Amino acid sequence: MTTAPSIPRAGERDVVAVQTAEPGAVFDVVGSSPRGLSSQEAVSRLAEHGRNELPRLAERSPVSRFLGQFTDLFAVVLLVASAFTLAAYLLGTPRDVGNLRLAIAILAVVLLNASIGFGQEYMAERTADAMRDMVPHQARVLRGGERVEVPAAELVVGDVVVLDAGDAVSADCRVVEAHDLAVNNVVLTGESDSVGRTADAVSGRVARLEARNLVWMGTTVAAGAGKAVVTGTGEHTEFGRIYRLTARTTPDRSPLQLQITHMARRVAAAAFALGVVLFAVRLPAGGPLVETFVFALGVMVACVPEGLPATLSVAMAIGVRRMARRQALVKKLVAVETLGSTTVICTDKTGTLTKAEMTVTRLWTAARTHRVTGVGYAPDGSVSDVDSAREVLRVAALCCDARVLPPKAGDGWRVLGDTTEAALLVAAAKAGLDVDAERRAAPRVGEFPFDSERKLMTTVHTHDGRTWAHVKGAPGELLARCTRIRTEQGDVALDDRTRAEVLAANDVMAGSALRVLAVAIREIRGARTGQAEAENDLTLLGLAGMLDPPRPEVVDAVASCRRAGIRVIMVTGDYALTAEAIAHRVGILAAPGRPRTVTGADLDGEIDDSALRDLLAGKGDVLFARVKPEHKMRVVAALKDLGEVVAVTGDGANDAPALKRADIGVAMGATGTDVAREAAVMVLLDDSFASIAAAVELGRSVYANIRKFLVYLFSHNIGELAPILVATFAGFPLVPINAMQVLAIDLGSDVLPALALGAEAPEPGVMDLPPRGRRERLFSWSLVRRFLFLGSIQAASATALFFWHLHTAGIPFDRFTAVNPVYREALTMTQATIVVSQFFNAFTVRSDRHSILRLGLLSNRKLVGAGLIGIAIMCAISYLPPLQAVFHTAPLSPVDWLLVVGCGSLVLGADEIRKFLLRRKEATT
């Protein structure tokens, strides 16, 4: 092969020569050959010129990101509060060091929040990067004449790339072979129609982006197939140039995040209003101006849910990572919450419900039915009556692009390309055919690639001086194009009776869940071979039935979706009987017998959109078979019109519109096309339906966890505010809890347990409930009711203990002063009651209906740890003299603690009773 001693850098390539050279001469320009580069040459070019990747855009510096945190609304409110408190300290006579401490404490809260926010952003970005890197991105190239798959990032100039419909073009290339090749250049030109490509030379006067023999990185192959030689990689591509000019990362905020930010703002406004009201009430009641002002500020600070946005991002990011561990990569945060509300999953069959491990087990020729033994891709097995089966397998094998690779280093036989084709190649080997020798004897001179619209694939071969079209595809489609059939007596005309026989043979195989392909041939006379000519007037050679066993894990996953009230609808390109047989095996069809099966032909004919909606709105099982991608799109649209939240799987390039139209487009990571992966919001690494079910479960649990920490955070706000309100309106001259204590609670007992709640594992039974309504708001009445219930118990405990402690001293309430030791103890009691009550509350909110004993007291260890840290901080505040000075607290006695723990645990006890009653009611109804 030709290798240039030194290859100029890709960016300096003589682009004009690339475009004007004849296909054969282009290889010299880039120092390559039609057989591609050798592996060593590719490695050395990679080392010399670098990987085929775009550099990361200059990111915002960490300092500017950190400073950005202070522009958040809450941060601004808190900063202003801190400034006012500092001013109160400076202007006061005498100066009250308590105000200085408060100003510093509020500032510390802002700093801490900024650090958490900064950390979260960083973590969320890292997660997103990791996700992006995990999406497999391979390119098929010729290396030393062998077709291999390499990571797209390792493409180098001179590599010969094999292109098929649905592939992403991974580098700038010059086309050297084109079979109906068309690309979509929308990324570069904004033009969404696909444009044809040719291998012919183009005049140097034609602008580069107009040259029909060039394809560009970032674009996709819309149709056809071909080969192209790489002329530019990485930054030295058209896409790289545009990317540098325009690409910006836009943060992706989900509706849920927006909802929470919105709600948090309203809470901040309410806090402000409350502060003003309390100020207005207390000032005329005789409070000194500065102190009353600082008190009102403290109330505002108490209400601001500082940690909320950050906690939310963590909960989402944890969900995304857990999904990745279950083989589901979520590309957009928004998918996490939508997944949780999914009501219908439309799924493919091959590869998603089945293993896509095809084995031809039966062949049918006009002569007889043949059994094929052996399982998997090892060529171990035999074909009965092999002589009459050999021709159908020879013709089929030559019409395949896939390759079956022998085991390497202990693993099994591997397939490169389509598994359906691999099964045919293996069957041919079992029949004693040497496929490579057959390929040399009948070289391929043309092809019309497979597409799921016509469900056929054709290759053209020359053999013994004659030209032949080999066609394989869906039996119904292929039989319609056959006029003759091969029998032991030679080729005879296909009459109606024989056609019916062929279809019956097909149905027998399909009924036992086999995927069936028909194989036909014709001789082509004349120089030019058009597709219409090659795929008509064919002679049917036979049928091949292949077994594709259901994935074992799918049965449970389908059952769990059923329990969760999620409908699973199979939408497949395969034949109705095969589809039904598989659907029965994996449990998609509940009732025995035949379901309502709708085919692509039905959808083109009598079933219009409104009939389709009626059909889908009905109760019975529906199955879609022999459908084309545009039909899938219609099914998705009809379901969405019915108000369903739809997840749909897809792998082909034509599936992109359906994937985009659905709420959750799910692409196949292992076998899907790049276009499908691009259009989807979720990519399944293992292609399995079970991973979709797992992602739905995790999506539901993320939503449930967010609810948990919202209830947790808001119930304690009530616990803090109620004693203050009671004291204010009862005319008690002092506060039952001061601003410094409130801050200590917010940071000591709030943030860590809220984070731990966000990381809760899915609750048992999360898939036993129906999907939540599409319009259900997070801040629903049921959520408010829940935190009002728990918060009121907490508030009652804190208020009661505060006033009880004062009462036991026997001093009239209006005689208390801030320095009275009993008052300081009572202040400490209030804070301790809230902290201890929150400790129990954290366990309470873990489930709305299950007892904590069922969930396991220690099953979320982080939560236990976070709660204990809160209590330890409380003890330090009560017993350490320096902290006593700051918080105005005093040591509590063992009896005090008994009261605190007793009252604090009321939340848990009361809610356990409520849960018990709820479960009993559910059991009796």
Residues forming the site for ligand ATP (CB under 6 A): 348-350, 418, 420-421, 450, 452, 455-457, 472-474, 515, 517, 572-575
Closer to ligand ATP by Cβ: residue 655 or 746: 655
CB-facing half-sphere around the CA of 340: CA atoms within 13 A? 25
Burial class of residue 891 in the structure, from the number of CB atoms within 10 Å of its CB (0-12 exposed, 13-18 middle, 19+ buried) = middle
439 Cβ neighbours under 8 A, 6+ residues apart: 398
* Per annotation, catalytic residue among 72, 159, 167, 348: 348
Cis-peptide into 657, omega within 30 deg: no
Tokens of 345: 């999953």
CA–CA dist 233, 9 (Å, integer): 10
Q: List phi, psi (to 5°) of 388.
A: -80, -5
* Pair of tokens at residue 88: 């109160």
Q: Is 345 left (phi over 0), alpha (psi -120 to 50) or beta?
A: beta
Is 348 tagged catalytic? Answer: yes
Question: What are the Cα distances from residue 353, in Å, to 553, 557, 660, 740, 781?
Answer: 9, 10, 22, 58, 39
655 vs 750, beta carbon nearer ligand ATP: 655
Residue whose CB is less far from ligand ATP, 226 or 870: 226
- Contact between residue 229 and residue 30 where contact means Cβ atoms under 8 Å apart: yes
Comparing CB distances to ligand ATP, the nearer of 455 and 461 is: 455
616: helix, coil or strand? helix
Structural tokens at position 182: 């068309």
Instruction: Give the tokens for residue 461.
Output: 């071969």
Buried b (16+ CB within 10 A) or exposed e, 98-129: bbbbbbbbbbebbebbbebbbebbeebeebbe
416: which 2 tokens?
Answer: 């490169």
> 165 vs 308, which CB is nearer to ligand ATP?
165
Least distance CB 419 / ligand ATP (angstroms) = 9
Q: Which is nearer to ligand ATP, 337 or 447 (CB)?
A: 447
Of 633, 659, 698, nearest to 338 (Cα)?
698
Q: Toward ligand ATP, which CB reaches closer, 143 or 551?
A: 551
Tokens of 303: 């209400």
Spatial CA neighbour of 140 closest among 122, 126, 154, 129:
154
Q: Give φ, ψ of 152 to 5 degrees.
A: -55, -30
Of 475 and 771, the one with the shorter C-beta distance to ligand ATP is 475
Chain centroid to CA 862: 26
Alpha-carbon separation of residue 72 from 61, 78, 809, 835 (angstroms): 18, 10, 46, 28
Nearer to ligand ATP, 427 or 517 (CB): 517
Catalytic residue numbers, as ranges: 348
